[in-house]
């Protein structure tokens, strides 16, 4: 099964929304070429954070936000009324001071009168160890809907309840289990390992997000055959999540190497050979590792005397 890479778009032409496509085109040029028709069910992305990664040119924060606003404004008319936009961001860091990008980007969506449904905290366990502030271990997903009638399949993403054996103690349901047999709402703080080191999804891309983070959004915010779009697709992690669950995917990316890796990953997803970490896999417990043992030389003489 194959996924096409498109590198040219004629203004006003609409590719087949039932195809899975990667566009080797600057997202602004791509959106300018696309007719102003609502075709996307979900737009999910992690844009460059303007922190000088190899795929971006660092610019003053104000200029970066103007650029982001131009793109979001061009996406908006292409989003269906029932659709959602999920913008996943971390911090812009300058001289050791952090600017959480979600705070800066929220006013752009507000101007469009979009509805913020959740500010999801994506918590992860690995990253830089800071010396002059607490080490950062979360990023944010801003989830916006275009209207009040939006797709939300809560039952498809429920997680096991903490106390499924709990029973109602009064009223008509007294004595009956009080929870939902399908599990509980997964809440808005998600613990999902980031793609570092020997993570099964790691490619040469320096800033992939985990497929599992997007899987839950795709299951909850779209239906089978819906069209998911990632304007900054990287190695198509959003596409892997979309194709795993029988949705269609379009993604834009300007770096050829990343788009080639993305194509391969999407084809592996269609062939069911893709390696990924599912969103519902339990988090590894580090206490089971030999590395969690305190080194003998760190033990104090007091501890020694207790032994
Ligand atoms: C944070 S990364 C996204 C990584 C992606 N979530 C993944 O898991 O692979 C941002 C990506 O946006 C791409 N990019 C930067 N400017 C772009 C533009 N104007 N149009 C399309 N893609 C762009 C970069 O090359 C980079 O791969």
DSSP string, 175-243: TSB-S-TT-B---SEEE---S-TT-TT--S-TTPPPHHHHHHHHHHH--TT-EEEETT-TTTHHHHHHH
Choose the residue to mutate in 209, 253, 277 for probing ligand 1, maximizing ligand atoms within 8 Å of C-beta.
253
What pLDDT is stored for residue 103 in this prediction?
A: 97
Q: Please state, as a whole number, how many other Cβ atoms lie within 10 Å of the Cβ of residue 123.
A: 15
Hunting for tokens 């050829």 — which residue is that? 256
Report CA(153)–ligand 1 centroid distance (Å): 28
CATH number where 132 lies: 3.40.50.150
Number of residues that make up the chain:
307
Phi-psi region of 197 (alpha: psi -120 to 50; beta: other; left: phi over 0): left
Domain that holds residue 156: 4-306
Q: Please state, as a whole number, how many other Cβ atoms lie within 10 Å of the Cβ of residue 194.
A: 19
What pLDDT is stored for residue 289 in this prediction?
A: 85
Instruction: Determine which residue's CA is closest to atom 19 belonging to ligand 1.
Output: 26
Which residues lie with the beta carbon below 6 Å from any ligand 1 atom? 26-27, 46, 48, 55-56, 205, 207-209, 232, 234-235, 237, 252-255, 258
What pLDDT is stored for residue 303 in this prediction?
A: 61
Angle between helix 61-75 and 101-111 (nearest 10): 40
Report CA(132)–ligand 1 centroid distance (Å): 29
Do 217 and 188 form a contact (C-beta atoms < 8 A)? no
Instruction: Determine which residue's CA is closest to atom 25 belonging to ligand 1.
Output: 55
Give CA–CA dist 217/242, Å, rounded.
10
Instruction: Determine which residue's CA is closest to atom 7 belonging to ligand 1.
Output: 208
pLDDT in tens, the chain (307 residues): 689 999 999 999 999 999 999 999 999 999 999 999 999 999 999 999 787 778 788 888 999 999 999 999 999 999 999 999 999 999 988 888 999 999 999 999 999 999 999 999 999 988 889 999 999 999 999 999 999 999 999 999 999 999 999 999 999 999 999 999 999 999 999 999 999 888 999 999 999 999 999 999 999 999 999 999 999 999 999 999 999 999 999 999 999 999 999 999 999 999 999 999 988 888 888 888 888 888 888 887 666 555 4
- In ligand 1, the atom with minimum distance to the C-alpha of 49 is 1
Do 122 and 89 form a contact (C-beta atoms < 8 A)? no
What pLDDT is stored for residue 38 in this prediction?
A: 98
Do 73 and 36 form a contact (C-beta atoms < 8 A)? no
The number of domains in the chain is 1
Report CA(210)–ligand 1 centroid distance (Å): 14
Choose the residue to mutate in 48, 89, 101 for probing ligand 1, maximizing ligand atoms within 8 Å of C-beta.
48
Instruction: Determine which residue's CA is closest to atom 3 belonging to ligand 1.
Output: 234
Give CA–CA dist 3/20, Å, rounded.
6
């Amino acid at each position: 099964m194959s996924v096409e890479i498109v590198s040219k778009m004629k203004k006003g032409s609409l590719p087949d929304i039932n195809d899975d496509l990667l566009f080797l085109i600057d997202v602004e040029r791509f959106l300018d070429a696309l007719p102003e028709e609502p075709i996307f069910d979900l737009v999910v992305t992690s844009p460059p954070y303007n922190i000088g990664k190899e795929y971006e040119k660092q610019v003053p924060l104000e200029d970066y936000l103007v650029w982001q606003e131009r793109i979001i404004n061009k996406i908006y008319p292409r989003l269906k009324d029932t659709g959602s936009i999920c913008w996943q961001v971390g911090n812009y860091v300058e001289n050791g001071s952090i600017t959480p990008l979600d705070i800066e980007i929220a006013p752009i969506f507000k101007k469009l009168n979009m509805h913020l449904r959740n500010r999801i905290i994506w918590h992860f366990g690995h990253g830089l160890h800071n010396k002059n502030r607490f080490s950062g271990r979360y990023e944010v997903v801003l989830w916006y809907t275009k209207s009040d009638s939006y797709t939300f399949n809560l039952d498809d993403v429920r997680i096991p309840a903490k106390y499924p054996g709990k029973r109602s103690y009064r009223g008509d349901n007294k004595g009956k289990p009080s929870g939902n047999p399908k599990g509980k709402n997964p809440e808005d703080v998600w613990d999902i390992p980031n793609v570092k080191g020997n993570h099964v999804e790691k490619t040469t891309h320096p800033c992939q997000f985990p497929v599992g983070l997007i899987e839950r959004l795709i299951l909850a915010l779209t239906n089978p055959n819906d069209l998911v779009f990632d304007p900054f697709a990287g190695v198509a992690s959003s596409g892997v999540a979309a194709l795993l669950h029988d949705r269609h995917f379009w993604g834009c990316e300007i770096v050829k190497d990343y788009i080639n890796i993305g194509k391969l990953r999407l084809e592996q997803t269609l062939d069911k050979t893709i390696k990924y970490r599912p969103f519902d896999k339990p988090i590894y417990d580090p206490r089971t590792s030999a590395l969690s043992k305190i080194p003998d030389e760190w033990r104090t003489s007091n501890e020694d005397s207790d032994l």
